[in-house]
Structure 1
Amino acid sequence: MGLPGLHFHDLRHTGDMLAAESGVGLKDLMARMGHDNVRAAMIYQHAVRGADKAITDAIDRRLGEREDEEGDGMAGAMVPAG
């Protein structure tokens, strides 16, 4: 590639991480990666799991804003997920 320290596999790894961050399903990620077993795709999906916390934090902030606007006292209320 002509760039010291950069290998073709590094580019593939970056593309796989970005694909996993997009939130696609396991089968779609496997197809994108060109894998026929779930092991590699699961590794990438687990690597980006931190996004779950960012999503729930954003939802919590929004609920807090609504509680401030509406005064319904429901901010922070526990609700079933999934």
Structure 2
Amino acid sequence: MSEFVGPEPGALVFSGISGVPIRRSNFGKMSGWTHAAVAVGAEGLHFHDLRHTGNTFAAAGGTGIKDLMARMGHDSERAALIYQHQARGADRIITDSIDAHVEAERRGGDDDDGTPGVLVPVGSQAR
């Protein structure tokens, strides 16, 4: 990094060819990205993956919605909420709960929900 990143605070780690911030319009001109990703064993890595990772880490560190929005350059809270949701670990908790239930069923769990294969009436016939 000392060779390619300026010494000043806030220096860009990744920039366009002329040192400007990377934008969608100049990303295609960064022909070295694909070669760099392959060289570090990350073939298929997209620049946006780094942005996603950075924002996930920021949210996990307790960054608030407004600060995430400013960091991402978004006007909507939607994307910031997605990162905060991931940071809370809600997906992991939900997935672990589902996995535990499936495993209990595979082992013939104690919580019998009724006879398998029995039709349960629904709608107006369920009275």
Partner SS for 1:48: helix
The aligned counterpart of 1:48 is 87
- Number of residues paired by the alignment? 51
Larger Rg: 2
Residue 11 (1) aligns with residue 63 (2): no
Give the gaps of 5 or more residues in structure 2. Answer: 1-32, 38-42, 91-127
Code of the residue aligned with 1:35 in structure 2: it is: H
Moved over 4 A (4+): none
Higher helix proportion: 1
The aligned counterpart of 1:39 is 78
* Distance across 1 between alignment mates of 2:84 and 2:73: 15
**RMSD (Å), alpha carbons:** 1.4
Give the gaps of 5 or more residues in structure 1. Answer: 52-82
Q: Percent identity?
A: 69
Q: Tell me which of the two structures has the higher relative contact order, counting C-alpha pairs closer than 8 angstroms and 6 or more residues apart.
A: 1
TM-score normalised over the length of structure 2: 0.38
Superposition deviation, residue 31 in structure 1: 0.4
